Chains A and B, each alone.
Chain A
Amino acid sequence: MENDKLKIGPKEFSSRLFTGTGKFASNDLIPKMLAASGSEMITVALRRIDFTAATENMLEYIPKNVTLLPNTSGARTAEEAVRIARIAREVGCGDFIKIEVITDMKYLMPDNFETLRVTEILAKEGFVVLPYMLPDLPTAKKLEDAGAAAVMPLGSPIGSNRGIKTKELIEIMIENCTVPVVVDAGLGKPSHAAAAMEMGADAVLVNTAIATAHDPAMMGKAFAMATRAGRYAYRAKMATVGKTASASSPLTGFLR
């Protein structure tokens, strides 16, 4: 597995577990979680960062070797998301951007249409665009065409911890997408992350389940191990699952 790096845009990642900065009981827990999990990319809501330095700046808790993935949380339109992305770049958060355009505050479902519009604009401006989306192949293909560096379908509603409820749709994306597929949102347990990776997802992004655990560092490590286990299983080409016992050749044995 030495040569199993994940390439997104100009960067390569050894860890296929991406993490987030929201919901932690204290910012001190973020570097501890990063160290324990080995996660090399972490997403941060730009709206949470206090650039006036009036209060604590969360970015100071993220080690320099970890890639920052600012997100456009709070955006309801493509225009707002574009504005946030440009601010992120101006303030030195780099070129990576996770597009999050949500027009439904009840279920927090991403708006694929607006997301596609943002991706078209930002990819042309040289951003490394990772759009968070409802798993839908036609949209994913359009996002690829628009220049998305990866696509990030949700496993189940964000923060719900319900696992991969959109399994069939994500499998179709995995089979057909040429950019990496990162399962984002809804992964509540390490076994969910393992399942996503076994399916062939290129990476997973987990925040709530880690940040709200009693011990976020240990949970980060658990997710990292599960993510690796799932990836190993996928690479090892798992035996297919049968519903009945299988004797060697019950139907065609007579031909030997």
Chain B
Amino acid sequence: MSFYDEIKNYNANDIDTYLSNVTNADIEESLSKRKIKPSDFLNLLSEPAGEYLEQMAQKAQQLTVQNFGHTINLFIPLYISDYCTNECIYCGFNKTNKIHRQKLTLEEIEKEGKAIAQTGMRHLLLLTGEARDVTPIDYIESAVNILKPHFASISIEMFPMDTDEYRRLKLAGVDGLTLFQEAYDKAVYKKVHLSGKKADYHYRIEAPDRGAAAGFRMISVGALFGLAEVRKEAFFTGIHAKYIADTYLDTEISFSMPRINPAEGGYIPDYPISDKTFVQCMMAYRLFLPRAGITISTREKAEFRNNLIGIGATKLSAGVKTDVGGYARRETNATPQFEISDHRSVDEMAEAIRARGYQPVYKDWQMEMFG
């Protein structure tokens, strides 16, 4: 049993029919409940629920403060290689993009780690493209070992791996796994992942199961908003998160909410999502799983991110470079995986969080204590 089996219980056409029949009374009833079921979650994701956004936000704010207090956790991503064997039509690292590819040496990784640590950031998210020949598990494990002394927590956002591989990285000190399904809609998934290992929907959708089984403490799931019809994608993301939380009781679950920005190759999303719908999905996540973290990346604009503090966001990145080697080197000719919209430094982000009456939390973990 895995989420691949679980998701078979849901039929996309049934969900469409359900969504088109949601009434205001349904939404009001869902909003009045203390604990909500998947059908309530769908009610809150429906188009008519857009009219109840303020009420949803009021409730989301109260739940977020209750569970997370007036705090926002900070983290920073580090890209160590942009080699990739996949052909994902929305991604800057797409193998057909004629870009200058780089893989950092272990010395360079340490330099990047030190440069990042100087900003005060203590929670690191380590990323690579998918190219097992160029960046095998040994290399990733060595990178973790070199970075460990500089950080309190290291998570990975990489190609899906086998349970044994995850276990190796867990033993090396990795605490968390971020893995986006990108598209839960199988037809869309096939359409946007033209070739490479990533074209294997089944292997990818079970990766969070394998990560949780390997003992990662924190699992983050997400759909890449813009690829497929957003309300259903958000629903499946929520069901996925709930499934992980229910199945692996000792795993902390969180949502990421990446939304497509222009990458190298100029991909235009088929299902662009408005700020309003984005916030509606976020509120629905919060009401469905009040204890789940919600991460908002620098793909989103500074002002928009500021406004999400307090109504549901719990984790923000800052001072971000999405090009390989971007932290230690002043000039780089590397291509970013996607364009970032919020270029604020760590200090600027922390100040913005304080200005909203929240405490920026740099450290909420210490890998030597656990595992």
Residues of A within 8 A of B (CB): 22-27, 45-50, 52, 54-56, 74-76, 80, 83-84, 87, 103-106, 108, 159-161, 208, 211-212
Contact = CB atoms under 8 A, between A and B. Distances in A.
Nearest to A85: B369
Interface in B249-302: 249-253, 291
Contacts of B192: none
B250 A212 contact: no
B120 interface: yes
A103 B365 contact: no
B249 A54 contact: no
B291 A161 contact: no
Interface majority SS (helix, strand, loop, mixed), chain A: loop
A106 B246 contact: yes
B212 to A, nearest CB: 11
28 contacts: A22-B71, A24-B71, A25-B359, A26-B359, A27-B359, A46-B369, A47-B364, A47-B366, A47-B369, A49-B363, A50-B362, A52-B122, A54-B362, A56-B362, A74-B369, A74-B370, A75-B369, A75-B370, A76-B217, A76-B250, A80-B370, A87-B368, A104-B250, A105-B249, A105-B253, A106-B245, A208-B66, A211-B69
A23 B122 contact: no
Contacts of B251: 105
Interface majority SS (helix, strand, loop, mixed), chain B: loop
B117 interface: yes
Nearest to B62: A212
A103 B215 CA distance: 12
Contacts of B338: none
B120 A55 contact: yes
Given A48-B361, A54-B122, A105-B245, A22 B69 contact: yes
Nearest to B68: A23
Nearest to A28: B359
Contact of A24 (B67, B69, B117): B69
A113 to B, nearest CB: 14
Contacts of B365: 47, 74
A55 B122 contact: yes
A46 B370 CA distance: 12
B213 to A, nearest CB: 15
A40 to B, nearest CB: 22
B152 interface: yes
